[in-house]
Structure 1
Amino acid sequence: MGCYLEDYRARVGTWAGRTSWRSVRGGDRFGHGSCLGNTILCAAALAVLLIISGVEQNPGPGSENILQVLCNVCDRNLKSGTQCDTCGRWFHNSCGNVKAHMVESGRWCCDRCRWDRLRQLEEKLENALHQIEDLKRQNKRLEEQLRGAAAGCEVSGRDTAQKLQGGAECLVLGDSIIRDVGTDHGNIKVECFPGIRTEQLQRVMENRNFGNPDTVIIHVGTNDLRRTANLDYVMGDVYALVQKARTKFPISKLVLSGVLRRRDVSWRRIGALNDRYDWVARTTGVTFVDPNSWIDDRDFSRDRLHINRGGAKRLGKLYHRVCGFDGGGQKLNE
């Protein structure tokens, strides 16, 4: 039997040679051709099994796998509707009372969410009202504290002014009639302007600083009687003077003193003018005193136009009592 030399050597030679020869000789039976055939056979068998069992390849989603969306009101299938922007629930437009303009606006909330929102707003409003009431109470307490502090400042300022004025607590402004009324009373300070009229005293009051006395007594009008025959003009000037005094002395007690009788003016005219003074005092809220009930005929000097020293002492005593002092010069408790 003939063979190639290499085949012979493989058969009778080394173990490696014999192994190589066997693999070459058996390549036709156990090579790549047999493996490919087996693969094709398995694929065909698998296809037959799939067809027999009725399994479809990639069947796709069935109708039972589609998500069902229900209306939150009627619980029926929702083919078209509107979703609440707050809670996310869906509603038929008819069930949720959804208007066309609401849908076009791009935002819509269901009734439940709207009621919840309204309840939250009511709670916030109630809390805000409680806070306002608390602030009102705090404001009231602060106002009381401010009033107390202001009262303390007024007392302090008044005491300081009294010290600067040598302890004077009663200021008397007027014409020459009042020149000596403070001689026997150290608590009365007199500012006398002989021949002054009501309108002139108003200008003096604007330009001068008189401090802040407890009481301010204004005695003026005698010289106005000689200037005009119309008493209403005098009353108007006195009214303006009192208003100016209320602005000038906001914390002081104001007293309007009536006109004393004199020789060159009739009693009737003096009484009519003092009646007008009384009306001005009641209208403006100040005190009116008529000195004619304290001054006798013997208290006038020889010219019957001015009061003498005894009359000044009696008039000073009247003003002293009006200011609220007792006989010893101490302040009476009001």
Structure 2
Amino acid sequence: EPKEVFLQHARNQTEVQEFILEGFPNVQHLGMVLFMVHLLAYLTSIMGNILIIIITWVDHRLQTPMYFFLSSFSFFECCFITTVIPKLLAIFLSGKQSISFSACFTQAFVFLSLGTTVFFLMAVLSLDRYLAICKPLYYPTIMNPRMCFLLVMACLALGFVLMVFPVIMLSQSSFCGPHVIPHFFCDFGPLIHLSCSDTRSTELLAFVLALVILLTSLIITIIAYSNIVVTIMRLPSAKEQQKAFSTCSSHLMVLFLMYGSCVFIYVKPKQTNRLNSNREAALVNTVVTPLLNPVIYTLRNKQVHQALRNALSRVRLQK
């Protein structure tokens, strides 16, 4: 009898070889329209973020720590949305989309680790603005090129290390059916919902990690910007105050968008709740926010405006 139980358990472990991504069944009749809209949003987001990277590396006036972090942020955003959006586009075309067990967990891991990296990078951007505005004399010494590179690599390493354990724990759970994921990509919550095993320890770990990641970056950001506001208010002229605020406002707008959607999706003890509403929040996080990031950073930044004008004028002269 114990042998039979073991064999049954082994069969259950390997029963689900692939998952089906459900996408948005309620609006599937608009598949081609949604495909075109999301393809346009994806291409615009990729081009906008690549434009920020190119301008930062081409224009020597933008080769500062802040723009190095912004270009790194844009690069990770491109990678982040590319793990999800192509599959979403395929779902809009086909109605449903199959994904293998290993590909599903790879997608979940890459998505979550890059998302974590982006959050820590936003905290680094807050620290960068704090040092630039509150400690201008120490800023060039602390934020040297080596330190900037190490900070970005530390964000990437943290994203990898923190996400590898919960994803491995969940991948080793039993998946004995059903195999339809009520989402447009392999996210943690829907996968936990499909597991036949007792996933309480995995859920708790995921909840604690989500809370730690979001709270750590949020606390760093709040402390940094509280000091920035105090320092700005002490500046003698209104023009200096406006200039200092303008360099921070874009960063804050992006932060509000990111925190809003991620808190809604991940910071709840029970991952099986509100799966349908999670899809809409995830769409904001993976389509809307990455599309708005380059728009916010370029439209609200005079230095980027000037760099774009210089680049366009050089292109005209070459013609």
Which TM-score applies when normalising by structure 2? 0.24
Q: Which has the larger radius of gyration?
A: 1
Highest relative contact order (Cα 8 Å, sep 6+), 1 or 2? Answer: 2
Which TM-score applies when normalising by structure 1? 0.23
Q: Which structure: greater helix fraction?
A: 2
